[in-house]
Chain A
């Protein structure tokens, strides 16, 4: 059948009129918001299962799914089930943005749990801010972000470094060699580290960045030899961590005299480099698998039972797990007809729970999390030995390196 132009126009006009009358909600503000309906709470799970960072993001996906399954098995949230929609963004920031749009607009998820790298978080940020949705980000990161649409459950520089740096100076000396991968996270961490070093009268003997994925550290090790630092402060990430530790050991350097102090070496990386290469080096983080608490024993046992006895939990998978419980606590406070991203955000402010690492709280002002930093030394068996535990939880200060900027509830303030 041929459609005549006149009839087509008539039909289109009628359809347009019908839509404006029959579906008025598209004209009302806020009605386009994602919301829970039909006894189901849809959430997105956005961790890469393929590509370069899949190595670590797979474990974040597993921790998130575990928490969702546990909550559903215990009856869900006020009788409603959490329905996870898993997408694979393939370690590519552009794909992250595309999948985030699909989860927010297509599936109408009320929250999305996702991202490991800062690049992928920055890529999805516009989607969540424009649609006023909520993103839950479990990774430790460089700070300097103040979004109303992200809940940050990982550590920021002040939480990992405030106790670590003076401790290193007291135990090993004042000469620091800063080495990191060449992107924003190590540079911001080192930025804050240099401020602390200056404050305590320590010096930087060299600051150096290697390309992402770099695996040939001979020249770097020669420089360790010639500059003789007391501490090597490392923010190298991914498989470069493994190469650096192994080549350090093969070159015959001694962790007793020149230890590496890292913010990024977890049980996961140690499993890949072998306990011998990691032994004697230090890491500062809010969570270690060996941490002794009933909540952590339960978490580790459940994780192994669900995903395999050889699996490890680490300082990014733990926040991936507890942030789903914080989500549950927030949603529990809401009426079933009122579960939308903005109401969840308001409900989660100031919310507390006992996570595997200890009691955590979402800071009302900046939506980051109060955490319990710990300093630990790696042992040859692939686990850590916790040497120092923070005596109190540490407030998150995402702009710690920028004293004239403060993240507040109404946004970033210049002072």
Chain B
């Protein structure tokens, strides 16, 4: 029993990291429809900002989170205003442009601070482990779980209950019509993209004490993020959560009985099969268009 519980929590912990990384993408790709291949680089920039704040300013990870969110959000905003807004009607060009921007960001970081792996310290209050229902758990992983839950609630609230979220949903449904009603679609898109980028930055900062920080770290995260969003169903926040939990528990369990190589390939196989029979993903948000 204890072992099942242990494995369940492991799955949840993997899921929370998946969701953390995918949440920003579910806004940018899911809501705005921009296939942003530079998403992983926002994650990487978040991790590097955390490292820089720690090394040069002496700021602990927890207080730097706020700064990191705004730094990466502003970068995202500049990218949207500078490049992506010219490409909304041309999805193929967007893929190429965002991929190119990703490569530029990787190499810029490498040139600026070098290619070696960087070290972000785990906050000391969170670096021990604790016993819960007879199961030994890392406090830091519990912390990540809590942060993700809060970020998800905030995002859902922003999208569904605030006027900016309502305007965004209107612009997504019919941009011209929304503009006729006096909504500044450009501004809405810019802000949404910045918010998604900021979330990705937070993800990078939060995973950095558990994993490693290098200019190439984004590449693996962008694959995971797309996997989660596509499986959950584009345009559905709830679907993103469901698919993150599903993938986390699935890979965790398979990795336990087999190994991580098998887990990864089986998870991908399951997604391919599912997409074949249900191309819209697990969840579809009902919209009258």
Binding site for B on A (CB under 8 A): 49-52, 54-55, 58-59, 182, 208-211, 213-216, 218-220, 222-223, 225-226, 239, 242-243, 246-247, 249-252, 268-269, 271-274, 276
Contact = CB atoms under 8 A, between A and B. Distances in A.
Interface stretch (B179-187, B213-221, B279-287): B213-221
Contacts of A251: 129, 136, 138
B155 to A, nearest CB: 23
Q: Which residue, B13, B138, B252, has most C-beta atoms of chain A within 10 A?
A: B138
A242 B214 CA distance: 11
Contacts of A49: 115
B210 A247 contact: yes
Contact of A273 (B14, B119, B136, B259): B119
Contact of A269 (B14, B117, B256, B260): B117
Contacts of B110: 50, 54
Interface string B19-53: 00000000000000000000000000000000000
Contacts of B213: 272
A250 B122 contact: yes
Contact of A213 (B7, B127, B139, B220): B220
B138 A272 contact: no
Contacts of B13: 218
B136 A239 contact: no
Contacts of B119: 271-274
A250 B127 contact: yes
Interface of B: 3, 6-7, 10, 13-14, 17, 107, 110, 114-119, 121-122, 127-129, 136, 138-141, 209-214, 216-217, 220, 251-252, 255-256, 259-261, 263-264
Contacts of A209: 259, 261
Given A246-B122, A249-B127, 15 more contacts: A55-B214, A59-B116, A182-B261, A218-B13, A219-B10, A219-B251, A220-B260, A222-B7, A223-B256, A243-B212, A250-B210, A251-B129, A268-B117, A271-B116, A271-B117
Nearest to A207: B259
A49 B138 CA distance: 36
B115 A58 contact: yes
A239 B6 contact: no
Given A210-B260, A251-B136, A242 B212 contact: yes
Majority secondary structure, A binding face:
helix
A54 to B, nearest CB: 5
Contacts of A243: 210-212
A100 B136 CA distance: 51
A271 B121 CA distance: 11
A220 B255 CA distance: 7
A232 B190 CA distance: 50
A328 B7 CA distance: 57
Contact of B259 (A210, A247, A249): A210
A109 B210 CA distance: 44
B119 to A, nearest CB: 5
A242 B128 CA distance: 18
- Residue from A52, A55, A226 having most chain B Cβ neighbours under 10 A: A55
A148 B267 CA distance: 45
B260 A216 contact: yes
A215 B136 contact: no
B252 A242 contact: no
A239 B261 contact: no
Given A250-B127, A274-B121, A216 B217 contact: no
Contacts of A226: 3
Contact of A211 (B117, B128, B210, B264): B264
22 contacts: A50-B107, A208-B260, A211-B261, A215-B211, A219-B7, A219-B260, A220-B255, A222-B10, A222-B256, A225-B6, A242-B117, A243-B212, A246-B210, A247-B138, A250-B139, A250-B140, A251-B129, A251-B136, A272-B117, A272-B213, A273-B117, A274-B119
A136 to B, nearest CB: 23
Top 5 closest A-B pairs, CB basis?
A252-B129, A272-B117, A219-B255, A242-B212, A239-B212
B115 A54 contact: yes
Contacts of A249: 127
A239 B214 contact: yes
B212 A273 contact: yes
Contacts of A55: 115-117, 214
A273 B121 CA distance: 9
Contact of B212 (A215, A218, A223, A252): A215
A223 B121 CA distance: 26
Contacts of B251: 216, 219
A214 B141 CA distance: 18
B244 to A, nearest CB: 13
Q: Which of B17, B110, B116, B139 is packed against the most chain A CB atoms within 10 Å?
A: B116
Contacts of A58: 114-116
Contacts of A269: 117
A243 B214 CA distance: 12
